[in-house]
């Protein structure tokens, strides 16, 4: 039933002693404007999150609608997720992926365990829009695309 709720997709990425690490995340949200905080939920079984947590910094990469392949790649545990992926370091040093709509560089503020996930809160240190393109949407296991006029008027 929850797959009927549409989300955007971000890659939460960090620079770790083992190399760059990242996770595809649909639970991302803006949490607070003052102070600027963002958040997402990460599963306890994630193998990429613990080293990112240890780094204490991460970059939230907002995927564009032509980046569904990156979403699939970063949702597969154990894969060499960064093979062939072009990126540069964000100001924090965390990976900033080429072609994203926007990025939000964060310092890990707090992690709150809840059920089989943790709520991760990030303090925003820097952010930028990279491309004026449409965001990637995820709905019922697929990437439906935005068919509304864009940029839309509400």
Query: How, if at all, do strands 29-32 and 37-43 pair?
Result: antiparallel
Q: Which of residues 62-91 bind ligand FMN (CB under 6 A)?
A: 71, 74-75, 77
Among 43, 51, 93, 99, binds ligand FMN (CB under 6 A): 43
Q: Which of residues 106-145 bind ligand FMN (CB under 6 A)?
A: 138
Question: Considering the complex, what minimum distance in angstroms separates the CB of residue 117 from ligand FMN?
Answer: 6
Contact call for residue 46 and ligand FMN (CB under 6 A): yes
- Measured in whole angstroms, the distance separating CA 118 from the mean position of its chain's CA atoms is 15
Question: Considering the complex, what minimum distance in angstroms separates the CB of residue 147 from ligand FMN?
Answer: 19
CA 139/CA 117 separation, integer angstroms? 21
DSSP state letters, 73-132:
HTTSTTS-TTTT--EEE-TTSSEEETT-SEEEEEEEEEEEEETTEEEEEEEEEEEEE---
Question: Considering the complex, what minimum distance in angstroms separates the CB of residue 34 from ligand FMN?
Answer: 25
- Residues in contact with ligand FMN by CB under 6 A are 9, 23-27, 40-43, 46-49, 71, 74-75, 77, 138
């Amino acid at each position: 039933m929850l797959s009927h709720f549409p989300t955007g997709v971000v890659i939460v990425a960090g620079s770790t002693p083992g190399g760059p690490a990242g996770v595809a995340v649909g639970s991302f949200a803006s949490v607070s404007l003052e102070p600027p905080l963002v958040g997402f939920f990460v599963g306890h079984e994630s193998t990429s999150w613990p080293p990112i947590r240890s780094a204490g910094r991460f970059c939230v990469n907002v995927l564009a609608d032509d980046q569904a392949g990156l979403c699939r790649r970063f949702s597969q545990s154990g894969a060499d997720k960064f093979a062939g992926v072009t990126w540069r370091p964000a100001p924090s040093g965390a990976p900033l992926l080429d072609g994203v709509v926007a990025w939000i560089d964060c310092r890990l503020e707090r992690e709150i365990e809840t059920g089989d996930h943790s709520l991760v809160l990030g303090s925003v240190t820097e952010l930028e829009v990279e491309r004026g393109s449409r965001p990637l949407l995820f709905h019922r296991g697929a990437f439906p695309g935005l068919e509304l006029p864009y940029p839309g008027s509400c």
